[in-house]
A and B are shown apart, each in its own frame.
Chain A
Amino acid sequence: MYTSKVMDHFMNPRNVGELEQADGIGEVGNPVCGDIMHIEIKVNDNKIEDIKFKTFGCAAAIATSSMVTELVKGKTLEEAEQVTNRLVAEALDGLPPQKMHCSNLAADALHQAIQNYYRKGGANE
């Protein structure tokens, strides 16, 4: 059902938790559909210096959250904005078809966190 990469990121998720002081916060999904992804970023010099996530959901939801944090940590905000849900799924060697929509929202949560950072005027700090 799941690739070994998905299982690895599910059993050993990277960057779980919350930041002491987040510069941007994003959250997508809702408890009704069974998936919520919460992502926090710390930005320094236009780069994602640190990133943490918390996710309620199935293995695919947790693995995609973990993978997106790994993909963008240390990257510039522009690079991070290029990361799509599809790219995250590809980095995990694919997801079962029924998981592509409901549980593959981690990149959306990341983009929200970046938007949140911009809105707070973070870029002018």
Chain B
Amino acid sequence: MMKVYMDHSATTPIHDQVLKAMIPYLNDRFGNPSSVYSLGQEARQAVEQARSQVAALINSPAGDIIFTGGGTEADNQALIGYALSNQDKGRHIIVSAVEHHAVLETAQFLAKHGFDLTIVPVDNQGTVHPDYLREAMRPDTILVSIMHGNNEVGTIQPIQELAEIAHQGGAVFHTDAVQTIGKIPVDVKSLNVDMLSLSSHKIYGPKGVGCLYVRKGIRLSSFIHGGGQERHRRAGTENVPGIVGLGCAAEIAQQEMAQESKRLHHLATKLADGILQSIPDTYLTGHPHNRIPGHVSVCFKYVEGESILLMLDHMGVMASSGSACTSGSLEPSHVLLAMGFPHEIAHGSLRLTLGKGNSEEQVNYVLETLPPIIERLRAMSPLK
């Protein structure tokens, strides 16, 4: 049976070259970058090289990159670190309704601890309109956090415009770019963002490492305490092999992005069109054009997401869904609900996210495999 991994928004396999670059730092180059002897300094050099590689990918000065233990930590660091050290300026924070939980729940945590939170809505394609943000801005708004590309429905936000509105109102702008990095150009200068989170394992790097870009001049209190690493902004001995892996993955992503994104866009278009043509009562979710290359998200009426995933898995196809059973709660995806989908349709969501390993042959296989599964589940369903 063909094995088809189409869940690259969840995680990606590690690139051969990345693994090769990491191994010495899991092996004989085990030094602590804070040590003065040459073994430590070798590790220090490797960390700084990785910092330059990541900085090059997002067009930032290397000194503005803080390595973290992943994208979630970077989001927590950005929101909590900024809010705590700037509360003298105001206590109002704005995030969008379709943020990843790493941002949404962190903002809610801050709201529980005395900050004011406004969650701005999205339209039915998942876009935060600049007007929605303009209306939410207040004189005491200190921070706006809106993601670059949505993990569930693929919609890309008009970050440049949104950041402009935040800045006009005297607030700083953070974006979670975990899903767009390596897929579309992410340039902190042209996007005009003050902080940006990214993660290594979405770009064929190792898990457990990411980084936060913090523009020079932004006041950000430390979030993890107990050492002077990362210029006192993230304590703890550096995850040297992980950081080396992220640096290497960033460099490869930068080299391959233009060509690979074009290929993924072509495959995803074929897949989405094929699904919509062959399966009735199906909706594409997210923005039809302004979306992450390789990202296909659909909802099927009358069937439930987890059942679709298990039947697909039985056929060798690995994908994901925003149904209640897969979201780990009783509610289906907060993203689909925020976009105005009724519960019963949101329960029938399927996300197929393409990446390096996917071929045209695999797309054809999914197009053959999926329609009978939906048909079978619909025949079992009392809804019509």
Contact = CB atoms under 8 A, between A and B. Distances in A.
Interface of A: 7, 10-11, 13, 16, 27, 31-38, 54-62, 98-99, 102-103
B323 A56 contact: no
Given A11-B314, A34-B344, A62-B307, A56 B383 contact: yes
B330 A102 contact: yes
B361 to A, nearest CB: 25
A33 to B, nearest CB: 6
Contact of B382 (A34, A36, A58, A102): A36
A55 B380 CA distance: 6
Interface in B275-326: 302-307, 310-311, 314, 323-325
B314 to A, nearest CB: 6
A57 B325 CA distance: 9
Contacts of B302: 56
B304 A56 contact: yes
B344 A58 contact: no
Interface residues of B, number: 24
Contacts of B383: 31, 36, 56
Q: Which 7 A-B pairs have the closest CB atoms?
A: A31-B344, A38-B382, A58-B306, A54-B382, A34-B347, A58-B325, A32-B343
A30 B295 CA distance: 30
Contacts of A60: 325
B379 interface: yes
B307 A10 contact: yes
A31 B381 contact: no
Contact of A102 (B324, B343, B381): B324
Instruction: Summarize A's interface: helix, strand, loop or mixed.
Output: mixed
B307 A34 contact: no
A58 B304 contact: yes
Given A32-B344, A56-B304, A16 B380 contact: yes
Contacts of B380: 13, 16, 54-56, 62
Given A11-B314, A33-B330, A34-B343, A56 B382 contact: yes
B332 interface: yes
Contacts of B344: 31-32, 34
6 contacts: A10-B307, A16-B380, A31-B343, A37-B382, A59-B306, A62-B307
A31 B383 CA distance: 9
A91 to B, nearest CB: 20
A75 B303 CA distance: 31
Contacts of A102: 324, 330
A58 B324 CA distance: 9
A34 B332 contact: yes
Contacts of A62: 307, 380
Contacts of B343: 31-34
Nearest to B321: A58
Contacts of B332: 34
Contacts of A27: 382
Contacts of A16: 379-380
A60 B379 CA distance: 17
Contacts of A58: 304-307, 323, 325
B180 to A, nearest CB: 30
A54 B381 contact: yes
B376 to A, nearest CB: 10
Nearest to A102: B330
Most A CB within 10 A of own CB, among B305, B314, B324, B328 = B324
A36 B343 CA distance: 13
Nearest to A96: B325
A61 B324 contact: no
B349 to A, nearest CB: 11
Nearest to A66: B380
Nearest to A29: B382
A33 B324 contact: yes
Given A55-B381, A102-B330, 9 more contacts: A10-B307, A31-B344, A34-B304, A34-B347, A36-B381, A56-B382, A58-B325, A59-B310, A62-B380
